[in-house]
Amino acid sequence: MKINEIFYSLQGEGRFAGHAAVFVRLSGCNLACPFCDTQHQDGREMTDDEIIGEIRKYPARHAVITGGEPGLQLTREFVDRLRLEGYFVQVETNGTLPIPPNVDWVTCSPKTLDIVLERVDEIKLLFHDDGHDEERVRLYEPIEARHRSLQPCDHAMTVHDDDECHLRNAATLANCIAFIKAHPAWSLSLQTHKMLGIR
């Protein structure tokens, strides 16, 4: 697989926020979202043995396969190997490609309507604060999920004035909180790693 980076940190978002995890970021994505805050294009080819050797360097038994888009490269065989090593395997996906069925936890962050996954463990939907969030939420409600969260969009990738970006982010957060209070089936997901200044 082509690996962008492997690093050890705390999960910053969603259901497992605050948990120590080894992150395996795969290179490449099938989407090009203007608000993407991840530099995932570069990388190097690594064998499964090399990847697992790197993961073993860290004490956590929670492995997060992310990207980019893991559905482009992740195989059932690699997930089997991680699980045999005793890892809980979480995948973060945009949902447009199949994910190996032996993954322990699928976090879907949909960015388009072309979702092929009918059931996931967690939906983590960006709250854009653009007047279409209620319609967007309704579109993804048919996907079966144990946990549903809304994450305020960080406008840093599209608003380049720091003061304007801060005001925009504050307004988006406030409106996201109000939306969740009116739609309590959803919970709030914050990018806590950015707040803490960690990876």
Dump pLDDT digits (tens) for 57-82.
999 999 999 999 999 999 999 999 99
Average pLDDT, the chain: 94
List active site positions. Answer: 23, 29, 33, 36-38, 92, 193
- pLDDT above 70 covers a percentage of the chain that reads 98
Q: Which of 31-35, 36-40, 172-176 has the lowest mean pLDDT?
A: 36-40
Please count the other Cβ atoms lying within 10 Å of the Cβ belonging to residue 132.
Answer: 10
Measure CA of the first residue to CA of the last residue in the chain; give whole Å. 22
pLDDT of 38 over the 70 cut: no
Q: Tens digits of per-residue pLDDT, 140-161?
A: 989 999 999 999 999 988 888 9
Is the separation of the CB atoms in 107 and 88 below 8 Å?
Answer: no
Alpha helices, DSSP H, located in 35-154: 48-55, 76-84, 133-140
- 3-class DSSP assignment, residue 179: helix
- pLDDT above 90 covers a percentage of the chain that reads 83
**Token representation of residue 179:** 């939306």
Given this model, what pLDDT does residue 34 score?
73
Query: Band of the pLDDT at 196, cuts 50, 70, 90?
Result: confident
Cα separation, 108 vs 123, whole angstroms: 5
Please count the other Cβ atoms lying within 10 Å of the Cβ belonging to residue 117.
Answer: 20
Query: Which domain does 120 fall in, by range?
Result: 2-196
Tally of structural domains, the chain: 1
The answer, yes or no, to whether the previous bond of 68 is cis (omega within 30 of 0) is yes
Burial of residue 98 (CB within 10 Å: 0-12, 13-18, 19+) is exposed
Domain with residue 30: its CATH number is: 3.20.20.70
